[in-house]
Amino acid sequence: MEDSQNKIIEKTEISEEQKELNNKMKQIFLNSFTQEQENIKEEKKKTLSEIIVETNEENIITKTGKYDEILKHKNEFNLSKLPKNFRLFYYKFKNPNDDKIAYRIGKLLLFTYGKNYPKITNSKNKKTYTTDTNWGCMIRCGQMILSHGIYRVLKSKKIDTKNALYYTFSLFNNYPIKENNLHNYFNGMLNKYYSLIREKEGETFNKIKEFFPPFSIKTLCEFGELNGKYAGEWFSDVIITHIFKNISEYYEIFNNENLNLKIMNFQSCIEIKDILNTCFIEKKYEKGNDNYIHLNKKYYYFNKIGIIFVNVRIGLDAIPKEYYQGIRELFNLKECIGIIGGKTRQAYYFIGYNNDEDSLLYLDPHVAKEEDKTINFNNILSKHIIKPVYTLKLSKMSTGFTIGFCFRNYEEFLNLFLFWQRAKQSRVPILGVVKQHIVVDIKDNNFDNDDF
């Protein structure tokens, strides 16, 4: 592993400054690899004693190691139809009936077509909608990939699994905050955001009585109108990730210490400088604080968590086979939160791949479910946690898709930077990275990555 990594890094040597960067990046990679091996060993020791906990005094997963409610529904996860050897994000599985698979998949929120929710009005044709069936599948896939990123953010703040799922879901539910009582973890954090389409003629923000969660389908459609997309129309992955970026800028909640994150969106090419300007803060050099990035004689220190979406297109009618391995490698990266794409007019959320053939694992939003007016964990369990998993051959996948990444600290950003640099140098690069000569220093980080 180390020898092959040396060969990759040697190709990039162009200056003393870059040599310093490469040596440090190599050490990060080796540290990351070592940590991954330790995580695997630790995983084998566990009996999955994590608590997802109690609703109406009923344990969903208990300290005894019995998976209780989730495992009662194990057959609904479609595990028998999963490949024998596959990877779910950065976890490898070889037994499709392994209870751990259901548990891991259970940490992903499923969003599908909804029905009978509050009316969404298309301001262009004045039509109203109480369902997004046949047009909202990419919106739902966008909700899935973003919710997993936010879930990971909350887990990094030492919030238990049940509450992390509960808090996350409260940001996506499609009923007014006054009705669903946005969980008190976020109460009081919503600021009156800049919205032209929410302000009715003759009214002020103070007279608006209903505020919907930031990622409800109603809010997404309203922000969609600012981007030329309306309720009843199919949203592309490019549009929905751009909307996420806009919303994260409009809602004060994302600047609060409980989230403190920024959502960014790039078209094929990742701008490192933009990330530094958004998620890092420029300060004078601090002696003793090595968590900095040095660029153009300026020092940048980590300041905000970043969720990054990169829209790519590979090929015209089909993805060339030489790119298959690059797509699979995305799921080997712990900072990857998945891919949204699919096939013509059918959007899916991709969460892993088959080790034995060229196919990806995905969650399917194409089922209409009744929207719940109030949030409780039993509803979340039955409609958003218990779900089947399917596979799609890469030869049938559309050439345009979006990759999601999430970094929650300085070290994870450096892991991502190394991965992007390696991806850029690939014979068939999937991602572009704007060349930046940066210098970094490494400091040991005891961050717990076992949170998926």
Q: Please spell the DSSP secondary structure of 159-226, one letter per residue.
A: --HHHHHHHHHHTT-SS-HHHHT--TTTTT-------STTS-TT--GGG------TTSHHHHHHHHHT
In the structure encoding, which two tokens stand for residue 163, read together?
């509450």
List pLDDT tens digits, range 184-213: 555 444 443 334 334 433 444 344 446 788
From CA 121, how far away is CA 123, in angstroms rounded? 6
From CA 284, how far away is CA 299, in angstroms rounded? 6
Please, are residues 239 and 227 in contact by the beta-carbon 8 Å criterion? yes
Q: 104: Cβ–Cβ under 8 A, 6 or more apart, which residues?
A: 88, 91, 452
List pLDDT tens digits, range 377-414: 777 877 888 788 899 999 999 999 999 999 999 999 98
Q: In the predicted model, what is the mean pLDDT of residues 56-74?
A: 44
From CA 423, how far away is CA 311, in angstroms rounded? 15
- Looking at the predicted structure, is the pLDDT value of residue 33 above 70? no
Q: 244: Cβ–Cβ under 8 A, 6 or more apart, which residues?
A: 142, 146, 215, 263, 265, 307, 309
Band (448; pLDDT cuts 50, 70, 90):
very low
List pLDDT tens digits, range 405-423: 999 999 999 899 888 888 7
Please state, for a pLDDT cut of 70, what percent of the chain lies above it.
Answer: 67
Residue in the structure block whose two tokens are 């608590």? 51
Please, are residues 341 and 138 in contact by the beta-carbon 8 Å criterion? no
Determine the length of the chain. 452
From CA 422, how far away is CA 325, in angstroms rounded? 13
Query: To which H or E segment does residue 299 belong?
Result: strand 298-302
> What does the pLDDT read at residue 252?
63
Q: In the predicted model, what is the mean pLDDT of residues 151-159?
A: 89
Amino acid at 209: K
From CA 392, how far away is CA 107, in angstroms rounded? 21
- 3 state SS of 383: helix
pTM, 2 dp: 0.78
